Copies of this chain bind each other. A is one copy, B any other.
Amino acid sequence: MWRNCVRLARRGLGRGAVLCPDPTVSHCGVVRGLSPAAPCSSLWNSVTWFSQARQSKDYALPNSSWSQGMMDLYSRFLEMCKDGTWKRIPSYDNSIDHTPESLKLTSEKERKETRLFPRNMDTEGVGFEYAMFLNPSEKRMVCLFQPGPYLEGPSGFAHGGSTATIIDSTIGGCAIFVAGRVMTANLSINYRNPIPLGSVVLVDSKVDQVEGRKVFLSCQVRSIDGQTLHAEATALFIQLDSTKSLQQQMSCQ
Protein backbone atom coordinates (compact mmCIF):
# COMPACT_ATOMS: atom_id res chain seq x y z
CA MET A 1 0.00 0.00 0.00
CA TRP A 2 2.76 2.37 0.88
CA ARG A 3 4.38 2.20 -2.54
CA ASN A 4 1.09 3.33 -3.99
CA CYS A 5 0.92 6.18 -1.54
CA VAL A 6 4.38 7.37 -2.47
CA ARG A 7 3.31 7.19 -6.08
CA LEU A 8 0.34 9.35 -5.20
CA ALA A 9 2.54 11.98 -3.68
CA ARG A 10 4.87 11.90 -6.64
CA ARG A 11 2.41 11.75 -9.50
CA GLY A 12 -0.50 13.82 -8.38
CA LEU A 13 -2.37 11.32 -6.25
CA GLY A 14 -5.51 11.03 -8.36
CA ARG A 15 -4.72 8.09 -10.56
CA GLY A 16 -2.83 6.09 -7.95
CA ALA A 17 -5.62 6.25 -5.42
CA VAL A 18 -8.13 4.77 -7.78
CA LEU A 19 -5.81 2.03 -8.89
CA CYS A 20 -4.55 0.84 -5.52
CA PRO A 21 -7.19 -0.95 -3.45
CA ASP A 22 -5.48 -2.63 -0.54
CA PRO A 23 -5.76 -6.39 -1.11
CA THR A 24 -5.51 -7.08 2.62
CA VAL A 25 -8.77 -5.27 3.31
CA SER A 26 -12.06 -6.77 2.26
CA HIS A 27 -14.54 -4.02 1.53
CA CYS A 28 -17.37 -5.94 3.10
CA GLY A 29 -15.50 -8.25 5.43
CA VAL A 30 -13.92 -5.42 7.26
CA VAL A 31 -17.08 -4.77 9.19
CA ARG A 32 -18.36 -8.33 9.29
CA GLY A 33 -17.64 -8.78 12.97
CA LEU A 34 -19.04 -5.49 14.06
CA SER A 35 -22.45 -4.62 15.36
CA PRO A 36 -25.16 -3.30 13.05
CA ALA A 37 -24.45 0.13 14.50
CA ALA A 38 -21.55 0.57 12.12
CA PRO A 39 -22.39 -0.89 8.69
CA CYS A 40 -20.29 -0.08 5.64
CA SER A 41 -23.01 2.13 4.30
CA SER A 42 -22.82 4.42 7.31
CA LEU A 43 -19.38 5.63 6.31
CA TRP A 44 -20.58 8.24 3.91
CA ASN A 45 -23.30 9.31 6.29
CA SER A 46 -20.66 9.77 8.96
CA VAL A 47 -18.65 11.93 6.61
CA THR A 48 -21.72 14.00 5.99
CA TRP A 49 -22.35 14.37 9.71
CA PHE A 50 -18.80 15.56 10.15
CA SER A 51 -19.36 18.15 7.46
CA GLN A 52 -22.66 19.30 8.89
CA ALA A 53 -21.36 19.90 12.40
CA ARG A 54 -22.49 23.21 13.79
CA GLN A 55 -20.60 26.34 12.94
CA SER A 56 -17.31 25.51 14.56
CA LYS A 57 -14.06 26.66 13.03
CA ASP A 58 -12.66 24.02 10.72
CA TYR A 59 -8.93 23.90 11.43
CA ALA A 60 -8.19 21.55 8.54
CA LEU A 61 -8.10 24.35 6.01
CA PRO A 62 -5.00 26.10 4.63
CA ASN A 63 -3.63 29.07 6.56
CA SER A 64 -0.64 31.31 6.10
CA SER A 65 1.60 29.03 8.17
CA TRP A 66 1.30 26.16 5.71
CA SER A 67 4.46 25.60 3.70
CA GLN A 68 4.38 25.24 -0.07
CA GLY A 69 4.92 21.51 0.34
CA MET A 70 1.86 21.26 2.60
CA MET A 71 -0.22 23.34 0.18
CA ASP A 72 0.81 21.28 -2.83
CA LEU A 73 -0.05 18.01 -1.13
CA TYR A 74 -3.36 19.40 0.10
CA SER A 75 -4.26 20.53 -3.42
CA ARG A 76 -3.46 17.11 -4.81
CA PHE A 77 -5.74 15.41 -2.33
CA LEU A 78 -8.51 17.92 -2.98
CA GLU A 79 -8.22 17.05 -6.65
CA MET A 80 -8.72 13.40 -5.76
CA CYS A 81 -11.87 14.26 -3.85
CA LYS A 82 -13.62 15.39 -7.02
CA ASP A 83 -14.69 11.91 -8.10
CA GLY A 84 -15.73 10.99 -4.57
CA THR A 85 -12.98 8.43 -3.98
CA TRP A 86 -11.49 10.54 -1.21
CA LYS A 87 -13.19 12.85 1.23
CA ARG A 88 -11.69 15.77 3.11
CA ILE A 89 -12.35 15.46 6.87
CA PRO A 90 -13.07 18.71 8.71
CA SER A 91 -11.39 19.15 12.09
CA TYR A 92 -12.69 21.03 15.09
CA ASP A 93 -11.23 21.99 18.44
CA ASN A 94 -13.41 19.72 20.52
CA SER A 95 -14.36 16.08 20.65
CA ILE A 96 -18.07 16.59 20.32
CA ASP A 97 -17.83 18.02 16.83
CA HIS A 98 -15.66 15.04 15.88
CA THR A 99 -18.37 12.60 16.92
CA PRO A 100 -21.00 11.71 14.33
CA GLU A 101 -24.47 12.63 15.61
CA SER A 102 -25.57 9.00 15.74
CA LEU A 103 -22.79 8.16 18.16
CA LYS A 104 -23.21 11.07 20.57
CA LEU A 105 -24.49 10.37 24.04
CA THR A 106 -27.09 12.73 25.40
CA SER A 107 -24.75 13.70 28.20
CA GLU A 108 -22.06 14.69 25.72
CA LYS A 109 -24.04 17.04 23.57
CA GLU A 110 -23.54 20.10 25.70
CA ARG A 111 -20.53 22.21 24.84
CA LYS A 112 -17.78 21.81 27.41
CA GLU A 113 -14.78 23.96 28.23
CA THR A 114 -12.45 21.35 26.87
CA ARG A 115 -10.29 21.35 23.77
CA LEU A 116 -9.28 18.49 21.53
CA PHE A 117 -5.61 17.88 22.31
CA PRO A 118 -4.16 18.38 18.83
CA ARG A 119 -6.25 21.54 18.36
CA ASN A 120 -5.56 23.37 21.59
CA MET A 121 -3.36 26.18 20.27
CA ASP A 122 -4.98 29.12 18.56
CA THR A 123 -1.86 30.60 16.99
CA GLU A 124 -1.52 29.25 13.49
CA GLY A 125 1.60 27.30 12.70
CA VAL A 126 3.06 26.77 16.16
CA GLY A 127 1.45 23.43 16.92
CA PHE A 128 -0.27 20.70 14.95
CA GLU A 129 -1.10 21.82 11.41
CA TYR A 130 -2.86 18.94 9.75
CA ALA A 131 -5.60 17.89 7.39
CA MET A 132 -7.05 14.42 6.98
CA PHE A 133 -8.54 12.67 3.99
CA LEU A 134 -10.58 9.48 4.10
CA ASN A 135 -10.80 6.80 1.45
CA PRO A 136 -13.82 4.80 2.65
CA SER A 137 -13.58 1.97 0.13
CA GLU A 138 -9.98 1.30 1.16
CA LYS A 139 -10.68 1.90 4.86
CA ARG A 140 -7.75 4.26 4.79
CA MET A 141 -7.13 7.64 6.36
CA VAL A 142 -4.20 9.86 5.47
CA CYS A 143 -3.08 12.94 7.33
CA LEU A 144 -0.90 15.73 5.99
CA PHE A 145 1.04 16.93 9.02
CA GLN A 146 3.29 19.94 9.52
CA PRO A 147 4.66 20.02 13.10
CA GLY A 148 5.22 23.54 14.39
CA PRO A 149 7.97 24.84 16.69
CA TYR A 150 5.90 24.24 19.84
CA LEU A 151 5.97 20.47 19.35
CA GLU A 152 9.66 20.14 20.10
CA GLY A 153 11.27 17.12 21.71
CA PRO A 154 14.94 16.70 20.78
CA SER A 155 16.32 20.05 19.69
CA GLY A 156 14.88 20.88 16.27
CA PHE A 157 12.69 17.78 16.00
CA ALA A 158 9.15 16.76 16.87
CA HIS A 159 8.58 15.24 20.31
CA GLY A 160 7.90 11.50 20.21
CA GLY A 161 4.62 12.23 21.98
CA SER A 162 3.51 14.60 19.23
CA THR A 163 4.23 11.91 16.64
CA ALA A 164 2.24 9.45 18.75
CA THR A 165 -0.58 11.99 18.95
CA ILE A 166 -0.93 12.52 15.22
CA ILE A 167 -0.71 8.76 14.63
CA ASP A 168 -3.34 8.05 17.29
CA SER A 169 -5.61 10.72 15.83
CA THR A 170 -5.27 9.51 12.24
CA ILE A 171 -5.49 5.83 12.94
CA GLY A 172 -8.29 6.50 15.43
CA GLY A 173 -10.24 8.42 12.81
CA CYS A 174 -9.85 5.46 10.50
CA ALA A 175 -11.12 3.09 13.20
CA ILE A 176 -14.13 5.32 13.89
CA PHE A 177 -15.19 5.11 10.29
CA VAL A 178 -15.32 1.32 10.29
CA ALA A 179 -16.46 0.66 13.85
CA GLY A 180 -18.15 3.78 15.19
CA ARG A 181 -17.41 4.51 18.83
CA VAL A 182 -13.93 3.11 19.60
CA MET A 183 -11.11 3.48 22.08
CA THR A 184 -7.38 2.88 21.68
CA ALA A 185 -6.37 -0.37 23.38
CA ASN A 186 -2.80 -0.60 22.09
CA LEU A 187 -0.52 1.67 20.15
CA SER A 188 2.98 0.51 19.24
CA ILE A 189 5.29 2.87 17.39
CA ASN A 190 8.69 2.26 15.88
CA TYR A 191 10.46 5.59 15.52
CA ARG A 192 12.78 5.34 12.49
CA ASN A 193 13.92 8.90 11.78
CA PRO A 194 13.13 12.06 13.71
CA ILE A 195 10.71 14.53 12.09
CA PRO A 196 12.23 18.01 11.64
CA LEU A 197 10.02 20.79 12.97
CA GLY A 198 8.42 22.66 10.08
CA SER A 199 8.73 19.78 7.64
CA VAL A 200 5.71 18.06 6.10
CA VAL A 201 4.99 14.37 6.47
CA LEU A 202 2.24 12.07 5.31
CA VAL A 203 0.62 9.84 7.93
CA ASP A 204 -0.99 6.91 6.11
CA SER A 205 -3.23 4.56 8.10
CA LYS A 206 -5.42 1.64 7.15
CA VAL A 207 -7.54 -1.07 8.69
CA ASP A 208 -5.76 -4.43 8.50
CA GLN A 209 -8.26 -6.72 10.17
CA VAL A 210 -11.44 -6.82 12.23
CA GLU A 211 -12.15 -9.57 14.76
CA GLY A 212 -15.40 -9.11 16.62
CA ARG A 213 -15.06 -5.78 18.44
CA LYS A 214 -11.34 -5.55 17.75
CA VAL A 215 -10.08 -3.37 14.93
CA PHE A 216 -6.42 -3.81 13.97
CA LEU A 217 -4.77 -1.01 12.05
CA SER A 218 -1.34 -0.01 10.83
CA CYS A 219 0.28 3.25 9.86
CA GLN A 220 3.38 4.69 8.28
CA VAL A 221 4.72 8.22 8.53
CA ARG A 222 6.88 9.33 5.62
CA SER A 223 8.29 12.47 4.11
CA ILE A 224 6.18 13.71 1.22
CA ASP A 225 8.70 12.47 -1.34
CA GLY A 226 8.38 9.02 0.22
CA GLN A 227 12.13 8.71 0.68
CA THR A 228 12.27 8.95 4.47
CA LEU A 229 10.37 6.60 6.74
CA HIS A 230 9.87 8.51 10.00
CA ALA A 231 7.73 6.04 11.92
CA GLU A 232 5.70 2.85 11.64
CA ALA A 233 2.90 1.90 13.97
CA THR A 234 0.33 -0.75 14.70
CA ALA A 235 -2.77 -0.22 16.76
CA LEU A 236 -5.67 -2.07 18.27
CA PHE A 237 -8.94 -0.28 18.84
CA ILE A 238 -11.94 -1.68 20.66
CA GLN A 239 -15.47 -0.98 19.52
CA LEU A 240 -17.51 0.41 22.40
CA ASP A 241 -21.18 0.22 23.16
CA SER A 242 -22.53 3.46 21.77
CA THR A 243 -25.23 3.63 24.43
CA LYS A 244 -22.81 3.66 27.36
CA SER A 245 -20.23 6.16 28.54
CA LEU A 246 -16.54 5.31 28.59
CA GLN A 247 -16.60 5.12 32.36
CA GLN A 248 -19.38 2.54 32.24
CA GLN A 249 -17.31 0.42 29.91
CA MET A 250 -14.04 0.45 31.81
CA SER A 251 -14.09 -3.29 32.26
CA CYS A 252 -14.78 -4.01 28.60
CA GLN A 253 -11.14 -4.64 27.70
Interface residues of A (CB under 8 A from B): 94-96, 99, 105, 108, 112-118, 120-121, 126-127, 149-162, 164-169, 172, 183-194, 196-197, 246-247, 250, 253
CB pair B246–A150 under 8 Å, yes or no, is: no
CB pair A117–B159 under 8 Å, yes or no, is: yes
CB pair A117–B162 under 8 Å, yes or no, is: yes
Residue of B95, B108, B126 touching A153 (CB-CB under 8 A): B95
CB pair A160–B184 under 8 Å, yes or no, is: yes
Which residues from chain B contact A99 at a C-beta distance below 8 Å?
155
Main secondary structure of the interface of A (DSSP, over half): mixed
Which residues from chain B contact A150 at a C-beta distance below 8 Å?
114-115, 117, 120
Nearest Cβ on chain B to A233's Cβ, whole angstroms: 9
Per the bound structure, the CA–CA distance linking A136 and B192 in Å amounts to 29
Nearest Cβ on chain B to A80's Cβ, whole angstroms: 27
User: With A96-B155, A156-B246 given, is the CB distance from A183 to B188 under 8 Å?
Assistant: no
Which residues from chain B contact A118 at a C-beta distance below 8 Å?
159, 161
Nearest Cβ on chain B to A223's Cβ, whole angstroms: 12
Per the bound structure, the CA–CA distance linking A112 and B198 in Å amounts to 13
Which residues from chain B contact A185 at a C-beta distance below 8 Å?
190-191
